[in-house]
Amino acid sequence: MKKIIISTGGGDAPGLNAVIYAVVKTSYKKGWEVYGSKSGYGGFLDMDDMVRLTPRDVEGIYATGGTILGSTNKGNPFAKPVENLAGEVQIIDVSDKIIRNFNRLGFDCHVAIGGDGSLEIAHRFSQKGMPVIGVPKTIDNDLEETDRTFGFDTAVSTATEALDKLHSTAKSHNRVMVVEVMGRDSGWIALYSGISGGADVILIPEIPFDMEAVCQKIADNELREKHYAIVVVAEGAVTSDGKVFNRGKGELGREEVILGGVGEWVAAEIRKRTEKDTRSLVLGHLQRGGSPTTFDRLLALRFGAAAVGLIEQKIFGHMVALKNSLMVPVPIADAIRRRKKVAPDNDKIATARDIGICFGDTESLAP
Positions in 46-85 near ligand F6P (CB under 6 A) = 73
Least distance (Å) between residue 282 CB and ligand F6P: 11
Q: Is 115 in the site for ligand F6P (CB under 6 A)?
A: yes
Positions in 138-167 near ligand F6P (CB under 6 A) = 138-140
Which part of the chain contacts ligand F6P (CB under 6 A), choosing from 47-55, 134-142, 162-170, 323-331? 134-142
Which part of the chain contacts ligand F6P (CB under 6 A), choosing from 132-140, 193-201, 220-228, 336-344? 132-140
Q: What is the DSSP letter of 67?
A: -
- Is 95 strand, coil or helix? helix
Residue nearest to ligand F6P (CB): 182
Amino acid at 180: E
Least distance (Å) between residue 185 CB and ligand F6P: 9
Least distance (Å) between residue 326 CB and ligand F6P: 26
- DSSP per-residue letters across 160-224: HHHHHHHHHHHHHHT-EEEEEE--SS--HHHHHHHHHTT-SEEE-TTS-B-HHHHHHHHHHHHHT
Which part of the chain contacts ligand F6P (CB under 6 A), choosing from 133-141, 164-172, 264-272, 329-337? 133-141
Q: What contacts 24+ positions apart, CB below 8 Å, involve 124-127?
A: 124/78, 124/95, 125/95, 125/98, 125/99, 126/316, 126/317, 126/332
CB atoms within 10 A of CB 221: 19
**Nearest CB to ligand F6P, comparing residues 121 and 259:** 259
From 6, 7, 11, 306, residue interacting with ligand F6P (rule: CB under 6 A) = 11
- DSSP per-residue letters across 15-59: THHHHHHHHHHHHHHTT-EEEEESTTTHHHH-GGGEEEE-TTTTT
Q: Is 183 in the site for ligand F6P (CB under 6 A)?
A: yes
Helix (H) or strand (E) holding 72, with range, is: none
| Residues assigned a catalytic role | 140
Which part of the chain contacts ligand F6P (CB under 6 A), choosing from 43-51, 118-126, 137-145, 340-348? 137-145
The site string for ligand F6P over 268-297 (x = CB under 6 A, - otherwise) reads: --------------------x---------
- Sign of the C-alpha dihedral computed for residues 13, 336, 132 and 134 taken in this order: positive
- Residue 120 Cα to chain centre, angstroms: 15
CB atoms within 10 A of CB 334: 13
Q: Is 206 in the site for ligand F6P (CB under 6 A)?
A: no
Residues that bind ligand F6P (CB under 6 A): 11, 73, 115, 138-140, 182-184, 235, 259, 288
